[in-house]
Structure 1
């Protein structure tokens, strides 16, 4: 080293710092790549993506190669910086060289290249993979030897080098990816994808028409009254029962009734013969499971029953599809926006029978959904009593005023979300 000029040592030191920056940036760039985009580019025959994918098949060897190169150049740079320090500053040169090299490596070989690689991983990883692939072949025996030693140490603590990280996403992670897609996906498409993911969390009780709201026709009624009810029905499939809804016998499709009418065979007897058998759904069934069951059974509606066989409500195929694509314009049932009425003072009058989940979805509120399904049930469970009108209560931070109570049910509730926001800011 005595024969090498100080200027030459500075030049070598600069080259080593650049090499250190290369190894640091390459490591961050490759590890920061989006694995799913990488697979997509690989399928598109992108050569850089193919090289990186091959390197990532054995991440232990890739990391070993990068760290070998990085530590080698850093140690060499430290030795050369020490020599330069001794030449320029004598015995104090060791301390000065250590401090100066630490700052230079930290700024130019670590923080700057790694930040750049994290921001533009593809621009860094794909070109650098050419050099890394060459170095891996050149230093393969040395890399394997180092990996063999490190893998042996890992085995001592119960970690196998053959274990691979499977880049699979949970439904919650997929939901985050969809929500963070921004302008890449229209908002409607994002809502549909999130709706599909939500099918496994939502049960039939969350979307069913509750039993007390079911509409049907009593087949023991006068024939003329039955005809009138069929003619005025808002639904193509009509439930038929005897005396009360607890004794449902089936349903009739209006198309079948029209066929009988055109054949001049439209009587109570022929109507009863045309009744279709009902399909029953156990409570607690998730929507993704029920959608498949509807498909396999070739059914479009079913009655939700509890463990005792009692009817809890009605679910249709359209109800499940609306959870994905949103409400159909042809629906005859009231939507949440019709159950939530904005008032001039900023409050909202909400129907007590509105489901908590639909209210949250429509208004972006955060009422708890793990308990009762309706706003009426939520308030009654919270108070543990049927309240009187003009009572105020705060649930999940939202101030509620009970406006109307009748028939042992809360009919109308006033919600003041502005006070919730103010209270949240104070916290």
Structure 2
């Protein structure tokens, strides 16, 4: 960077658009003209975080030096007094990732070089195979393996339930479920029906797919600790890479119960916002993979701390990679993944829709189930504001879940 290049922040733009999914994009512009892109999306609460950024965060950034990433992170975290929480931490993340993008561009280096350089040649991913039946799910898994993926998450419809997590029954996304009346769709849940059906999926998977492919499964927080312990023990013969979100763990000690009963590896963290949400589980080695997303856990600065802390206890990072995270988040996580010595695996559902490709550009490529990170300065991602304006925000929600007697349950 030239010594005369002025990285004083002059503008903070917050753009809410819907190129296939709703995204909250942060664009920070400096006096020199260099700018950075960050993701601050909170699915179903996009306007809350956008308003927080515009009304409360942006005014505090004007005139600051974009190079001072750590000081700005601490200012937005400690200075607000009301710490943590998904809205606050997503706002911090959007700013933080944009600042790392600027710093890389100013240095003429990709962000992973600023973190310490590559620890591997590419970022291993796992893809999703979901189907109406076990056979349908495994057909899709075989197709993914043929494309080069070495790890696959398996989800299938639960017999006897009208809806199941991950199975959209012919619809491309949750927007289609809400086209006429955008309110949270409701889905039924029965633990007994699920537990009676789930083992067959992995028994058949190992028979058809063999032992080399890594298999994952997402419970999506629907079980109690002892039910999750039983599930983990039931699935031990099928050698899962990990069992994800077996229990909603606001009470982190819940994972001690599961760990005491099964050797199936455990993963959690996609809705966590800070290192404090997962501190006990990591330091007690109750989990094997921490799945915090850069967008929801405070950005690259915070994720680097989580990764370093987890490494002390043999816990690997496996960042969340749902389609409601924008390509700016994917880029940030790819740079973290190529650097982190304790990287495990990255969830991958594609780089976005055709509409998303009109709005976001990036230099990430996928080959044989691995993300290859380009060497563009910064994060290698860009955002077209004019294209984004052609895809206005559409109110949308994730579903909610109820037991068959009507009791509200974890979705």
Q: Same fold (TM over 0.5)?
A: no
Compare the two structures and name the one with the higher helix fraction. Answer: 1
Q: Which has the higher strand share?
A: 2
Structure number with the bigger relative contact order (C-alpha 8 A, sep ≥ 6) is 2
